[in-house]
Amino acid sequence: MTIDAATVRRVAKLAHIREPEERLEPLAAELSGIMQWIEQLGEVDTDGVEPMASAVALSLPMREDVVTEGGDAGPVLANAPGARNGFFVVPKVVE
């Protein structure tokens, strides 16, 4: 699969990473090289094979539906780029 500059622009948008226009062509070439190498997976017969999502065969553990922690606004906000009155401060979301 060849990836073109337009595809890189679209994927970068989806990934929320700004890529300047002059980077789109070089990135398209790099990603195409990687994806072409990956294409060899097509050689593997996977008909009827169950996809493997985890190396652990256990079902997810359950726990009591109770509050185990909380009330830690101070530590939670300690690394925030912006915080005020116990809340995160973020750029305007709704105009």
**Which residues of the shown chain bind another protein in the complex (CB under 8 A)?**
3, 7-8, 11-12, 14-19, 27, 30-31, 33-35, 37-44, 46, 49-56, 58, 60-61, 63, 72, 75-76, 78-82, 88, 90-93
How far CA 53 is from CA of 42, 47, 50, 56, 71, in Å, comes to: 19, 17, 9, 9, 35
- Quick one: 25 or 30, whose CB is closer to another protein? 30
Q: Point out which residues pair with 83 in neighbouring strands.
A: 88
66/3 Cα distance (integer angstroms): 48
Helix ranges (DSSP H) in 18-79: 21-38, 73-77
Min separation Cβ 31 and another protein, Å: 6
Min separation Cβ 27 and another protein, Å: 7
Min separation Cβ 75 and another protein, Å: 4
